């Protein structure tokens, strides 16, 4: 009888522990791995033809049409001052979905994998030293990987 009671409790504990884990989509920008909460990514697209916008801010790549909707595509490499490599077969566009803001496209060099990070696997951004911009909210560590975790809302607003 007591066994029957104890087991579910243990399972529940594990579930609660797992519930704290957040899924992050990791991608490459230059040589660094970045990650964003996967719940904010609606879609991963192979780049369609991109229409450049004259006189747009430098980190805007252009606009694309996603099923009839116009989406502005940003180049995070330009945003972060990283080396820009030309488009290749691994280049992708991440379509965001943050709920309130309009969806935008983020150009990335390569999409890696989904990490499920527990709280203890995330260090605050201050661990990088100095003042970190608001859109970097932490550093994720799992196995050997080191992920720069981005806060999309802050990134879009900055």
Partner 1 sequence: MADFGSDSSEKKEEFFSEAQEIVDGLGKLLLDLEGAITESRIDPDVINEMFRAVHTLKGIAGLFGATRMSGMSHELENMLDDVRMGRLDLSVAVLDLLFKAVDLYTHILLFERGDAPDPEHEIAKLLSLFAQVTQPDESPTSNIFTQYDLDPGMFGVLTEYEEHRLKSNIEAGLGLFRLRVRFSLTILDSALEDLKKKAKPLGEIITYLPAPSTDESDFENLELDILMSSKSDAALIDRTLSVEGLVVNPVKRRAAGGPPPKPQAPVSRSPLPKIGAPPSLPPPTIAGPGRLPADLMPETRAGTPKAPPAKSGRPGARTSMAPHAPGQAGQFVGKSAAQTTVRVDIRKLDRLMTILGELAIVRSAVGRLAERLRGSVEHRELGTELHRLHRTFERQLAQMQNGILEVRMVQLGPVFDKLQRGLRAISREYSRPVNLVITGQETEIDKLIVEELSDPLMHMVRNAFDHGIEPVEDRLSVGKPEVGTIALNAYQKGNHVVIEVEDDGRGMDPKLIIASAIRKGVITEDESREMSARDAYRLVFMPGFSTKVVVTDLSGRGVGLDVVKTNISKLGGIVDVTSDVGIGTKMTITLPVTLAIINVLIVEIGGRSFAIPLASVEEAFVYEPTLTRNVEGREVLSLRGQSLPICHLSTLFQIDSFDAEGHDGRKFYVVTVAVGIRRLGLLVDRLEGQQDIVIKPLGKSLKSVHGFAGAAELGDQRVALVLDVAAIVEEVLAGDQSRYLAMSGDGRI
Binding site for partner 1 (CB under 8 A): 48-49, 51-57, 60, 63-65, 68-72, 74, 101-102, 104, 156
Q: What is the spatial distance between Cα 139 and Cα 158, in angstroms, rounded to a whole number?
A: 20
Nearer to partner 1, 105 or 140 (CB): 105
Q: Supply the DSSP string of 35-84, one letter for each residue.
A: EEEGGGEEEEE-----B--TT--TTEEEEEEETTEEEEEEEHHHHHTPPP
CB of 142 to partner 1, least distance (A): 32
CB of 103 to partner 1, least distance (A): 8
Nearer to partner 1, 67 or 89 (CB): 67
Nearer to partner 1, 95 or 117 (CB): 95
Q: What is the spatial distance between Cα 29 and Cα 82, in angstroms, rounded to a whole number?
A: 7
CB of 154 to partner 1, least distance (A): 14
CB of 50 to partner 1, least distance (A): 8
The dihedral through the CA atoms of 18, 21, 27, 28 has a sign that is negative
CB of 122 to partner 1, least distance (A): 28
Nearer to partner 1, 60 or 118 (CB): 60
Q: How far is CA 77 from CA 2, 11, 44, 66, 115, in A?
A: 58, 43, 17, 22, 22
Nearer to partner 1, 50 or 111 (CB): 50
Beta bridge partners of 8: none
């Amino acid at each position: 009888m007591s066994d029957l009671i104890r087991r579910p409790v243990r399972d529940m504990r594990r579930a609660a522990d797992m519930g704290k884990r957040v899924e992050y989509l990791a991608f490459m920008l230059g040589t660094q791995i970045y990650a964003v909460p996967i719940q904010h990514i609606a879609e991963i697209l192979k780049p369609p033809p991109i229409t450049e916008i004259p006189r747009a801010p430098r980190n805007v790549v252009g606009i694309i049409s996603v099923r009839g909707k116009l989406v502005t595509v940003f180049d995070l490499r330009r945003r972060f001052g990283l080396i820009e490599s030309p488009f290749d077969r691994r280049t992708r566009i991440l379509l965001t979905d943050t709920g309130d803001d309009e969806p935008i496209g983020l150009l990335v060099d390569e999409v890696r994998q989904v990490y499920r990070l527990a709280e203890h696997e995330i260090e605050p951004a201050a661990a990088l030293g100095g003042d970190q911009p608001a859109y970097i909210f932490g550093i994720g560590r799992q196995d050997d990987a080191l992920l720069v975790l981005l806060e999309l809302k802050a990134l879009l607003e900055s």
